[in-house]
A = this chain, B = another copy of it.
Amino acid sequence: MNIQFKKGVLELCVLSILNEKECYGYELINELSNAISISEGTIYPLLRRLKKGGYVTTYLQESQEGPPRKYYKLTELGKETKKELQEEWYTFTKGVNELLRGGEQNE
């Protein structure tokens, strides 16, 4: 898959998943890799960025299956940003699709 397509969209995808349910990092990676090929080395820095920016808060929870899990939860800012990014995404893809199809019918 074209790496460059993912840039910036991943953040929106993560925000969108977290908007549905609170997840821990490892879980997010599994969720995402169903739709988009993704690696750990991408998600953890991304989650750090989101936390640093105040888009998510975190809390630890013990697990029987390994080390404690760090759950991520959207803040209000995170929810607003998700909406905005989603709108931008739709607008952007619409623009691109029009451009791509532009030459197919009319000149």
Interface residues, chain A, with chain B CB atoms under 8 Å away: 1-9, 11-13, 16-17, 19-20, 32, 35-36, 85-86, 88-89, 92-93, 95-96, 98-100, 102-103, 107
Contacts and interface: CB of A to CB of B under 8 A. Distances in A.
Contacts of A16: 99-100, 102-103
Copies of this chain in its oligomeric complex? 2
Lowest 5 A-B CB distances belong to which pairs?
A4-B8, A20-B103, A7-B7, A4-B7, A35-B99
Contacts of A100: 12-13, 16, 86, 89
A89 B96 contact: yes
**Chain A interface, DSSP helix/strand/loop, else mixed:** helix
A1 to B, nearest CB: 7
A94 to B, nearest CB: 10
Contacts of A11: 4
Contact of A2 (B32, B85, B96): B85
Contacts of A6: 92
